[in-house]
Amino acid sequence: MQLRTSLLNSLSTALRQFPLLIVLLYALVEFFPRFAAVDVMGSQWLFLALLNCATLVYLVVRAYQAPIAFLNSTSLRLLGGFLLVSAASFLVAYNVIESLVTYSRLLTAGIAWFNLCILLSNRPGLTVKAIRFIALVLIVQSARELWGFFEALPPQGSIDDLIASMRGNAGNKNFLGAGILLRIPFLLVLLHDNKRLLNGIALVGLLLGVCTLLIINSRSTYLGLLLISGLYIGFTLVRGLKERNHGLILRPVLYAGTLLLALACTQVVFSRISAAGPQGSYGEAGKRMASISFSNEGSSGRVRLWESAVDFIGKHPLLGGGYGNWKIHSIPYEASSVRGFGIRKHVHNDYLEVTADTGIAGGLLYTGFLLSILLLGARLSLGRDKPDHVRLYASVMTLSLLAFLSDSLFNFPMERPNMFLHLLFCAAGIIAMHLRWRGAEDTGRVSITPINAVLLVLAIGTTWVSAQAYRSMAVQRTVRTEWFGLTKPARPPFRSADINPRFPAIPNLNEIGMPIACMKAKYLVQERKFAAARIELDAGNAATPQSPGEPAGF
């Protein structure tokens, strides 16, 4: 009897901690391994889809309720509207299969945000625990990247290849840098703690994190770091001076000093590297910042991409070109400037790309969702009627949200599960805090079991699509090794019978935008099976048809 009681108590304790485990798994998706996929996001999107299913089962079994204010919130309506408009854009998509694959990721992210909002609004303490844990993870991650960099540092010569290889588990160095940037504001929770040990840990973490960012040489993260650091230092100093709070004034001073120390350390490192041999493209932060300009050369070709998207939006304002189809519509714009197998899949501006994919209404709904969360975060951060700890946590998540919004101007963080889910974690945390501190507004709650049941069905569907995409990425990784000359066999090591049947029906484009049917045709041509190859090539042409007419101005 005593053993049974002990087991029941242990089970009850585990169930109470299960929500925290779910939140941490969502927030730390970046560290889920790649396994066999050609791109780590293949396994990560599948992991998130499975996590959604497990979370929804838990919410149904535990009969969770949701605040009525959340179900009636502007943010939920805007995101729901964006999901509906994106689904409607299938009607004009040239490649509906590609729309299905990319939309399943968007739906996976939307369900994850809904789940996080429910969990965090029911257990307010989860947000703080997750922020503290992620801050500590950032310290370990930055230390590991710096250790790897200095361990592999060549005795002389260019370090471009070494810096380009810094990718952690994020995909490439830019995604790694952006992920670190999004987590840096979380260190402020430790910096503003009353315990000096945690203050010291925060400053060490800030030093390591900023040094890693400066070494990675991602210019967009420099801009994001300047934005969030300037806002934090400025607002905190002004508040500290107004309140004559010396402790509050000290924090931004220490923060600024740590930034300068990180800059000095990396300057010394790059100066010694430059003295040892020829300089490459990467180097000191000042040099990289000076290279930023609104030209194709100063933006790595982004201006041309932005102009193409604006032109396309002007021609397709209602529903765009179909969700996830920009990579297809970009082909006529890039035909004269891109060489090789792949294409520039993204506009390098999420706002323009969403609008090109879903029309002006879709772009406004997505941007409106982000701005609605930003407004709530700002109101909590600046509200004098809120307790100091509420203002601190809201400020941390709002600064992280601003870093995401900044990166969205130059890159495509929506596609990367680690970055998109970090944004949604911050958005859910801000929503949860708003619901708790909204004052005299309605505080009623209602059962959401029917909603969760519907979402579970959708989550199962996204899991199936994600599983197919992962299977395809696994084959793509095998084929990529041969295509890019990473092995040098006397003859091609694979035959059509080895590769072609392993590709699932979806997706029909690979991760560099090439029709998978054309990859299949390669092996058939090598075996002189020309009739079968022609069928595959025709299927490849159908997957990426040309837009009617020539793009204006190009």
Residues 477, 440 within the same domain: no
- Whether 506 and 468 have beta carbons less than 8 Å apart is answered as yes
Q: Are residues 146 and 198 in the same domain?
A: yes
User: Is 304 domain-assigned?
Assistant: no
What residues make up the domain containing 495? 473-543
Residues 449 and 477 in one domain: no
Residue 134 and residue 82 in one domain: yes
521 and 435 in a common domain: no
Domain end position, chosen among 460, 487, 516:
460
406 within some domain: yes
Angle at 198 between CA 193 and CA 202, to 5 degrees: 100
Query: Does residue 553 sit within a domain?
Result: no
User: Rounded to an integer, what is the distance from CA 325 to the centroid of its chain?
Assistant: 19
Domain boundary among 460, 491, 507: 460
455/503 Cα distance (integer angstroms): 29
Cβ atoms of 321 and 92 within 8 Å: the answer is yes
Residues 447, 483, single domain; the answer is no
Q: Do both 275 and 178 map to the same domain?
A: yes
Instruction: Give the helix, strand, coil percentages of the chain, each rounded to 5.
Output: 70, 0, 25
Q: Which residue has the tokens 């993260």?
A: 221
Examine residue 103 and state whether it is found in any structural domain, yes or no: yes
pLDDT in tens, the chain (554 residues): 565 555 545 555 555 778 999 999 998 899 999 999 999 999 999 999 999 999 999 999 999 999 999 999 999 999 999 999 999 999 999 999 999 999 999 999 999 999 999 999 988 789 999 999 999 999 999 999 999 998 888 766 668 888 888 888 888 899 999 999 999 999 999 999 999 999 999 999 999 999 999 999 888 899 999 999 999 999 999 999 998 899 899 999 999 999 999 999 999 888 887 776 666 677 666 666 766 655 555 556 788 899 999 999 999 999 999 999 999 999 888 876 666 555 778 999 999 999 999 999 999 999 999 999 999 999 999 988 889 999 999 999 999 999 999 999 999 999 999 999 999 999 999 999 999 887 545 568 999 999 999 999 999 999 999 999 999 999 998 887 666 555 454 355 688 898 999 999 999 999 888 899 988 998 898 889 999 999 999 998 888 865 433 333 32
**DSSP code of 349?**
-
Do 345 and 483 belong to one domain? no
For residue 38, is it within any domain? yes
Q: How far apart are CA 208 and CA 14, in angstroms?
A: 34
What is the C-alpha to C-alpha distance for residues 339 and 89, in angstroms, rounded to an integer?
A: 30
pTM given for the model: 0.92
The three-state DSSP-derived secondary structure of 324-339 is CCHHHHCHHHHCCCCC
Same domain, 371 and 479: no
Does 7 reside within a domain?
no
Q: 544, exposed or middle or buried, with CB in 10 Å at 0-12, 13-18, 19+?
A: buried
Same domain, 60 and 154: yes
160 and 244 belong to one structural domain: yes
Q: How many domains does the chain have?
A: 2
Last residue of a domain, one of 460, 487, 510: 460
Burial class (CB in 10 A: 0-12, 13-18, 19+), 151: exposed
Residue 9 counted as domain residue: no
Alpha-carbon torsion 117, 119, 121, 127, what sign? negative
